Amino acid sequence: MPTKTALATPEEPKRPRKPRTRANNEGSIFPYKNGWAGYVWVTNPEGNKVRKWAYGKTREETHEKWLKLHEQARKGPVVTKSPKLSDYLTYWLEEVVKPNLAPKTAANYEMFSRLYIAPALGTKRLDKLTVKDVQSWVNKTRSTCQCCKQGKDAARPEQHSNPKRRQRCCAIGECCKEIPSDWTVHDAYMTLRAALSQAVREEALARNVAANVRMPAPRKRKVKPWSVDEARTFLESARTRNDPMYPAYVLILVLGLRLGEALGLRWEDVDLDQAEMTIGWQLQRVSGQLLHRQTKTEASDATLPFPEIVTTALRARQRARDAACESAGDDWQETGLVFTTASGRPVEPSNFRRSFANACEKAEVRKVHVHATRKTCASLLVALDVHPRVAMQILRHSQISVTMNVYSEVSSEDTRKALKKLGDRLDS
């Protein structure tokens, strides 16, 4: 019996698939609450794929932010969680600045962060900080009384026997207009810029918004150094009065040593027979601590020859040190430093500055800051007839032509003779 053959039914045609409008991991935009939301799949700094969200009141606004997220994702890792600026500053100071920079630099960064940056910008999220925010902060800081802002006068007691120690201005409604100097504003700005640069290096930020702020560097303060005759008058006065700091004055004037380098000088680094010393240590008061530490950079380290006036002054200092040690007896504290107190302890930099200011007054010469004496060094070396090659080493010039330009200035013969004889009586 013939079998029936099943009739073949035609297959139903497949519906064509709707083409995709977005690729995998591209993200999406959709209505959300009172506006729109969108997300993009990004790679965070830890290497994980996560969603990064963008929000806006309109689809166009959200779409623009969404495209920017895509651009960031193409460039590299994207931060999805950002701390407040104040929290990041705390991390930066503790983990980056203090372990790697000089104590004085770290103390300055901490001060500017605490007094100027954190109070004004600290609540801002790191990734939400804009160029406009930073520019407005800079402009406002320039004109804001810091006595009011930091509560300096408010921290004083209302009543005190000393009028200078009780509330006297901003806290009683008489603003003293203590606006910061241009250099203070500039240094506060540079502190913020340094912190944001670190955030960029750590890929916590895509760019440093502070770098785009208009912030011209203030003009450097021009300080007129002493003339050779003023320096000679000052040194002669200190020698005549047997000022215990006279040898230190000689070092900062004749060799151009910085204050910290002079007070941090050790006897083991001085060779009086060869008339040379090695500069490699400094003494600084930082955050309430007196630190004897190496100089900031290798460029500051040097072995310096010195003229006879320095040899004479240091031999006198050596005799004074031995006499003080014998007089102090068991109370003597050996530090190995060239300049010490009567008990052998280090000399406070602030005390030295006061001694220097008093010595200026007694010598009846124009008062200058201790650091300004370095600029007088070259003129003194000329007047002392120090050989140009030796002067080049002392002044740390890279080319002899620079030194010879200084030597084109000739001092009077009387001044030369007076300087050469300046320390002679100390050997008597």
Positive or negative: CA dihedral 393, 359, 293, 109:
negative
Q: Where are the beta strands (DSSP E) in 227-373?
A: 270-271, 276-279, 281-286, 289-294, 302-305
- pLDDT for residue 65: 83
- pLDDT for residue 18: 46
State whether residue 161 is helix, strand or coil.
coil
b/e sequence 105-131, b meaning 16+ C-beta within 10 Å: ebbbbbebbebbbbebbbebebbebee
- pLDDT for residue 403: 65
Residue ranges for the chain with pLDDT beneath 50: 5-10, 12-13, 15, 18-20, 23, 410, 425-428
Domain 85-144+179-212, classified CATH 1.20.1250.20, yes or no: no
Six-digit token pair at 271? 């060779």
Indicate the CATH number for domain 228-427. 1.10.443.10
- pLDDT for residue 272: 93
CATH 1.10.443.10 residue ranges for the chain: 228-427
Q: Which of 321, 351, 337, 348 shows the shortest CA–CA distance to 281? A: 337
CATH 1.10.150.130 residue ranges for the chain: 85-144+179-212
pLDDT in tens, 225-250: 888 888 889 999 999 999 999 999 99
Tell me if 336 sits within 8 A of 270, measured CB to CB.
Answer: no
- pLDDT for residue 40: 85
- pLDDT for residue 416: 53
CA 19 to chain CA centroid, nearest Å: 60
- pLDDT for residue 427: 44
- pLDDT for residue 419: 55
DSSP 337: B
- pLDDT for residue 9: 46
Q: Which of 174, 137, 181 shows the shortest CA–CA distance to 154? A: 174
pLDDT in tens, 39-73: 888 887 777 888 877 888 888 888 888 888 888 78
- pLDDT for residue 51: 82
Sheet holding 276-279, edge to edge: 270-271, 276-279, 302-305
Cα separation, 426 vs 240, in Å, equals 10
CB proximity list for 237: less than 8 A, separation 6 or greater: 359, 362, 363, 364, 365
